[in-house]
Chains A and B, each alone.
Chain A
């Protein structure tokens, strides 16, 4: 999402995802922070952290080739991952599913883990909310305008720099939220963001670069595909997304929903 709006590729998104999970984990172990509170606290903390990074470092890199941005965030990944390894050790720590969401419920054609359902519903709600905010609110309109024509928007007296920081912070907060949601499903470990970020890249490429709707739709479709794939043929699951990507790129070089665009 950050990518679509700001033309900034954030490698560190996976790391932010991981940070979100860690905040939840430490919140739970150190101060007995309940899961539902972590859903709010972790995104806020990590979002603020992301905004700080944007203000202090990334802002210096906007005028030049966007590749430097990518590279800086890559360095950030290395620093954050190893930093957390230093603090938490390389091995993962389990984070248990909250009692209220444990167990399974029947969804018509078979039992389904309640927690998974909760994650799916939450993700859908958040996606719809993001889309509504962008499309239907004044601030959303400003953000969209600022990405289309930053100079013009600046001339109208809107602080685009601040908008960028806000959007970046929100994007990071969303990544952290995803991290908290994912924490009970997998081990909380410093490298947990790696797989996520590469999958995210593939999703963005498949969905069409710069198309938010495309990314969200593809993300859900692929998530579904992977869940189905996991049931039928687990070995291929990790590669499935990339195979889909190759096929899509061969047929439509700009992705499914992308407009022809060269940069």
Chain B
């Protein structure tokens, strides 16, 4: 099922449509929201790689997203490091964290994996909360500007969005490349039947760890873009609700479909934005939680997954 879209002609068309959608997005919604959507799309794809292809549900991905966001903002605000250098350090931070967390958690699977990643992410949350001299505590930490790159002023939100979109496109292509590589197939084999993959000589845990680190690093990159886009890193980013949010986005869109999580992130962010602007104020979780509960109960394959299943019922 998961292979039905990626690599097929239909997949190429969907990907192209999404990219076109991405091009016009900042003219439809206001640019910072567009940046949020693109950053969350990277995050969701990184997450989907782990959940959909390695079969590991991390409930602590905010660790990488929010942690890298803090690193980049702290470097920029406190040490006046330029964005690109700060981003590189932040992404490296996410990679190291992913290696550490993965090293501890990868020996377990299923619910235990989720609980351990959640608890470890919470460890970072409390550090961020305590070290308020660095992180700004509950107020968060602001950056005055994004600086410039190759003489282009990044403080223009729309221009910065196109930079994020370019990175997002590259990230998605990279993930698709990984999924279609022998590595990706071995990963799925391990997910579907771990014992058999082990007996075939695959070092399953090493595969999983590599995927976890890759996913965490990409999540860190996404978090950097999000923080730079909003010029803010806050406790929200490292909070476990963010970890839950990315799970919701991926499943809402359709896990294991790569494009699904992008759709999920777009719908989720847009909906959240408009809900927060309208009837119930900051009670968005009420709406999003209800929506997600319904998806879990009646449409577990997610939006893209359900469309695929309906469009081609033979393939399974």
Contacts and interface: CB of A to CB of B under 8 A. Distances in A.
Given A75-B296, A239-B126, A246-B104, A70 B112 contact: no
A245 interface: yes
Contacts of B89: none
B285 interface: yes
Contacts of B251: 71
Interface string A70-84: 111011111101110
A144 B123 CA distance: 34
A263 B112 contact: yes
Interface in A193-209: 194, 198, 201-202, 204-205, 209
Contacts of A77: 289
A205 B116 contact: yes
Contacts of A235: 130
A116 interface: no
Contacts of B283: 82, 85-86
B271 interface: no
Interface stretch (A61-69, A96-104, A160-168, A179-187): A61-69
Contact of B116 (A83, A85, A249): A249
A83 B251 CA distance: 23
Given A76-B293, A82-B286, A85-B283, A239 B123 contact: yes
The number of chain A residues touching the other chain, given as a range, is 35 or more
B259 interface: no
A71 B241 CA distance: 12
A79 B104 CA distance: 32
The majority secondary structure among interface residues of chain A is helix
B300 to A, nearest CB: 6
B97 interface: no
* Best-buried of B107, B110, B112, B126 by chain A (most CB within 10 Å): B112
Contacts of A262: 108-109
B247 to A, nearest CB: 6
Contact of B111 (A67, A85, A238, A249): A67
Given A75-B290, A246-B104, A57 B297 contact: yes
Contacts, number: 111
Interface string A235-246: 100110011011
B130 A198 contact: no
B178 interface: no
A136 interface: no
A60 B298 CA distance: 10
B292 A78 contact: yes
Contacts of B110: 66-67, 263
* Best-buried of A60, A75, A82 by chain B (most CB within 10 Å): A75
Contacts of B82: none
A238 B244 contact: no
A74 B247 contact: yes
Contacts of B43: none
Interface string B117-135: 0111011001101100000
B32 interface: no
Contacts of A85: 283
Interface in B172-192: none
B20 interface: no
A187 B293 CA distance: 29
B296 A72 contact: yes
A204 to B, nearest CB: 7
Given A253-B108, A263-B110, A198 B285 contact: no
A172 interface: no
Contact of B114 (A60, A70, A83): A70
Interface string A219-263: 000000000000000010011001101100110010000000011
A44 interface: no
A66 B284 CA distance: 26
Given A78-B286, A78-B289, A79-B289, 15 more contacts: A57-B293, A60-B297, A61-B296, A70-B59, A76-B293, A78-B285, A79-B293, A81-B285, A86-B280, A201-B115, A204-B115, A238-B126, A246-B120, A253-B107, A263-B110
29 contacts: A9-B115, A61-B296, A67-B57, A68-B300, A72-B297, A75-B289, A75-B293, A76-B289, A78-B288, A79-B289, A79-B290, A81-B285, A82-B283, A82-B285, A82-B289, A83-B286, A86-B286, A194-B240, A202-B115, A204-B115, A205-B112, A205-B115, A205-B119, A235-B130, A239-B126, A246-B120, A249-B116, A262-B109, A263-B110
Interface of A: 9, 57, 60-61, 64, 66-68, 70-72, 74-79, 81-83, 85-86, 194, 198, 201-202, 204-205, 209, 235, 238-239, 242-243, 245-246, 249-250, 253, 262-263
Interface of B: 57, 59, 104, 107-112, 114-116, 118-120, 122-123, 126-127, 129-130, 240-241, 244, 247-248, 251, 280, 283-286, 288-290, 292-293, 296-297, 300
